[in-house]
Structure 1
Amino acid sequence: MIELLISACLTSGDDCRDFALQFDAREVSLMTCVLHGQAIIARWQDGHPDWQVARWSCSHPERREVAL
């Protein structure tokens, strides 16, 4: 699996969370995630107007240090 991890905060408060979008590694590589991540995040942002993206990253979810 390849994971696009989005860290976002509510626009109306201090509540911040991580959101994970996962993709099949047979179809999406880390490089593809990095190259197309901004477009994917823009679509995510359109569907989540109350959240403001603070940062994002692409990785293998099994390498994540903290569970969501």
Structure 2
Amino acid sequence: MMILLSICLLAQPTTCREDKIDLSYEASNPFICLRNSQSALATWQAAHPEWHVERWRCAARGSQPKDL
């Protein structure tokens, strides 16, 4: 599973992009992804303080959509 992010710069809120967090397990259950997503998002946010997460969602690997 992975978490798909829509992120925007804090200093320039109109500058946005998409990113992803690859989770370290291959569970196909989205509820497991949701359960573990808060800690993954907090870790990502701490490593990227200049960005703000606008939206996110869990997705299976290999099924990444073109947009969030």
Deviation at 1:63, TM superposition (A): 2.2
Aligned to 2:26: 25
Identical aligned residues as a percent? 28
TM-score relative to the length of structure 2 = 0.78
Code of the residue aligned with 1:32 in structure 2: it is I
Q: Does residue 48 of the first structure (1) align with residue 33 of the second (2)? A: no
**2 CA distance for matches of 1:17 and 1:11?**
12
Give the deviation of 1:29 after TM superposition.
Answer: 4.0
* Aligned counterparts, 1:1-68, within 5 A: 2-13=1-12, 14-23=14-23, 24-25=25-26, 29-66=29-66
Provide the TM-score with structure 1 as the length reference. Answer: 0.78
Distance 1:33 1:48 in 2: 21
Letter in 2 for 1:56: W
Measure the CA separation in 1 of the matches of 2:56 and 2:35: 12
User: Aligned with 1:5: secondary structure?
Assistant: strand
Q: CA RMSD of the aligned region, Å? A: 1.9
Task: Structure 2: state its 5+ residue gaps.
Answer: none
Distance 2:56 2:65 in 1: 15
Amino acid at match of 2:26: A
